[in-house]
Amino acid sequence: MLRRLKELVASLTYFEKWLILGAIIGVASGLFVVAFFYLLDLVARAAAWMIGYKGQISSDYALLAIGASKRWMLPITILLGAAISSILVYTFAPEAEGHGTDATIDVFHRRAGIMAPHVPVVKALASAATIGLGGSGGVEGPGVQMGGGIGSILARHLHLGFGGRRIAVVSGMAGALAALFRSPMGSALFAIEVLYRRDFEVQALVPAMISSVISYAVTGPLLGFKEILPPIKVSTEALYAPGSIVAYLLLGLFAAPFALLYAKSFYSLKLLFEYARMRLRYTVYLKPLIGGFMTGTMGLGIPYILGNGRGLLAVFLGSMRGGDPHNFLIFSAPLWVSLLILAVAKILATGFSIASGGSGGVFAPGILSGALVGASFGMLIGARISPLDPTVYAYIGTAAFFGAAAKTPFASSVMVSEMGGNYFLIVPTFLAALVARELSGHPSIYASQLEHRLAPGMVSVEVLMDSVERARKYGMHRRITLGEVVDRRYKPISPDAPVMEAIDMMINQRQRVVPLVNDDRRVCGALDLSDLEMLIELGEVKPNTPSRLVRLRVSPIMREDESLDRAVEEMMAKDYDYVIVVDKEGRYLGIAVLEEIAAALAHLILKKSGEQ
């Protein structure tokens, strides 16, 4: 069946191909995150049973009604979740630590769309433990990494190549988000916008949209079609009143410092945890436990900070609409002050839980903090200059805060509007988010984002040489080795195998290079499609000719620990667009092609230049 699908995909146009693949990825990613959502709910119920809580419980784990006499058990369950997550992640998939979305962005930019097949499973189990047992983290990051991983796995099996793999990763991200947040349009936009600080991956828009819509339709009967947030109705006259427009712009100004705090504090805590580990020389397995202990300690005094925040956000917005949000007072002070303190506490708790190495997302905690910031603005300023209720500013604040923290103002506006069941909110949320994004500057909650898309010329060896010089200028040319970008899909054949076997592999496996490797996995050469075509036309090669007898150029062979700039120089010297990569003992590993090297170098250069 897989072979037939390969043949079908190879024969189709771009739209036809991604109509089919987008639908497949949407179904697969959607169903996978549904299974994750049920697992998360199961873990949360188990945690409630451990504590002895008898009331209703959601996967949010915001046990708002828990009595003070049992609250001391919360740090224990959080530590248990951190321990389970730590063992799973650092034993089986270290790339599954943290909030997931950033790792998936890194896969797109630096790993040529290649993610290890076991990562989505490890991410699901670890995140269920972290979030379900009370850690402060969301489901967006795990969902994005799961969906992106599913897209990557399918693309590799279908041999879609460098560009196809990356589009498949974006499609999987969109499908997973649509299932989790019931936002088909916003999820597709988020998947193509989150990759960059000031750009979109426009080529992936149609596949992402197809995947997102299909995932939404397939998972709706399982998770429900109800909006994530309480639907809000507001008159368009009030929304577009002059005072309201001014208020949106001021809300962007008000939210920007909190968004900046979110991004800055997260990575400052991440560096602090790593510095402490290196200084005190304790095992990496302890990092999430220390972060979990800090989160649990905060939770003793402010239990609202626990869990992913989705359930608490719905409760908060519902109480705002009911006119009695005062149960969110955390001490004797004006309500708007309490809400701002709670927002900052949630930001810090998420840093403790996830920046320490725990597994969870930053979107749901971000929109909760944004709603708290927006509501406080509405009470303090918004209601004084516009006819809108402070509740409306809570919705707009979610987009302003996270749109600035993640550099996704377009997607955040659409997602919040869809989650709140009111598309009239798109313009207000976008205005506030755009102002907040511009004022919050360069820092982002997703450190792996690039500033802009790569120029097409970036994948020529000549332009890459300029990139190498710039990498040396920044002192970064040895930061990535060939072992990190090698593509292990390229299967070798024996030097005694007939040329026909290599041709069959080129056709069926879609690899234009077939290395010749002996029984000791030592490289004897390689059959290159372009060279082979010329020799066949000249009649110098017959189908049964042993591959070792074919007269070919000497392919560049380099060790896995050599740097990318050396690989570029070698390719230019020998007029190749790939190098054969071997391990330190000289045994064959795979092929590093020009596109992967270009993406890795460009990632470093653009990231460094964007910081300056």
Q: How confident is the model at residue 464 (pLDDT cuts 50, 70, 90)?
A: low
Rounded CA gap, 426 and 469, in Å? Answer: 44
Dist CA 432 CA 418 (whole Å): 17
Choice between 463 and 163, residue whose per-residue pLDDT is larger: 163
| Domain range annotation of the chain | 2-223, 236-440, 457-611
* Per-residue pLDDT at 460: 47
Task: Give dist(CA 404, CA 380) in Å, integer.
Answer: 21
Average pLDDT of the segment spanning 556-583: 80
Closest CA to 371 of 243, 226, 235, 229: 229
CB 395 within 8 A of CB 367: no
Architecture of domain 2-223: Orthogonal Bundle (1.10)
381-386: Cβ within 8 A, 24+ apart: 381/247, 381/250, 381/254, 382/247, 382/250, 382/251, 385/243, 385/246, 385/247, 385/250, 386/238, 386/241, 386/243, 386/244, 386/246, 386/247
Residue with tokens 């690899």: 511
Q: How high is the pLDDT of residue 62? A: 44
Residue with tokens 């740090």: 75
Tokens of 248: 């949106």
Confidence check: pLDDT of 198 > 60: yes
- Tell me the average pLDDT across 189-195: 94
* Residue 5: predicted pLDDT: 66
What is the model's pLDDT at position 207? Answer: 94
Asked whether this chain's domains 236-440 and 457-611 adopt the same fold, the reply is no
Distance CA 238, CA 386 (A): 8
CA distance 199 to 109: 14
608 or 212, which is more confident:
212
Which pLDDT score, from 0 to 100, does residue 329 have? 63
**From 350-364, 447-461, 513-527, the region with the lowest mean pLDDT:** 447-461
Note the Cα 230 to chain centre separation in Å. 27
- The arithmetic mean of pLDDT across residues 114-122, rounded, is 87
The residue that leads in pLDDT, 48 or 150, is: 150
Q: What is the pLDDT of residue 337?
A: 86
Q: What are phi and psi of 408, to 5 degrees?
A: -130, 60
Homologous superfamily (CATH) for 457-611: CBS-domain (3.10.580.10)
CB 130 within 8 A of CB 169: no
Least confident of 146-155, 335-344, 526-535: 526-535
pLDDT at residue 188 is higher than 60: yes
Per-residue pLDDT averaged across 202-207, rounded?
Answer: 92
How far is C-alpha 560 from the chain's CA centre?
A: 27
Q: What is the pTM assigned to this prediction?
A: 0.75
Least trusted range by pLDDT, from 177-181, 361-365, 443-447, 546-550: 546-550
Distance of CA 549 to the CA centre of its chain: 47
CB neighbourhood size of 18 (10 A): 25
Instruction: Look at residue 55 and tell me whether its pLDDT is greater than 60.
Output: no
Asked if residue 251 lies in contact with residue 377, where contact means CB atoms within 8 angstroms, the answer is yes
CB 419 within 8 A of CB 182: yes
Q: pLDDT tens-digit profile of 3-44?
A: 666 666 666 777 888 999 999 999 999 999 999 988 988 888
For residues 40-66, average pLDDT: 63
Please give the residue that has the higher pLDDT: either 6 or 62.
6
Please check whether residue 207 is in contact with residue 21, taking contact to mean a CB–CB distance below 8 angstroms. Answer: yes
What is the secondary structure of 435-468 as a DSSP string?
Answer: HHHHHH-S--S-TT-BSSPPPGGGGSHHHHHHHH
pLDDT at 205: 93
What is the average pLDDT value for the chain, to the nearest integer? 82
- The pLDDT assigned to 60 comes to 52
CATH architecture, range 236-440 = Orthogonal Bundle (1.10)
What pLDDT score was predicted for residue 114?
Answer: 77
The percentage of residues in the chain with a pLDDT greater than 70, rounded to a whole number, is 81
Q: What is the mean pLDDT of residues 111-124?
A: 84
pLDDT for residue 248 is more than 70: yes
Q: Which residue has the higher pLDDT, 67 or 267?
A: 267
Which pLDDT score is estimated for 459? 45
H-state helical runs in 509-588: 529-537, 564-574
User: What pLDDT score does 456 carry?
Assistant: 46
Whether 610 has a pLDDT exceeding 50, the answer reads no
What's the pLDDT at 59?
Answer: 45
The rounded percent of the chain whose pLDDT value lies above 90 is 32
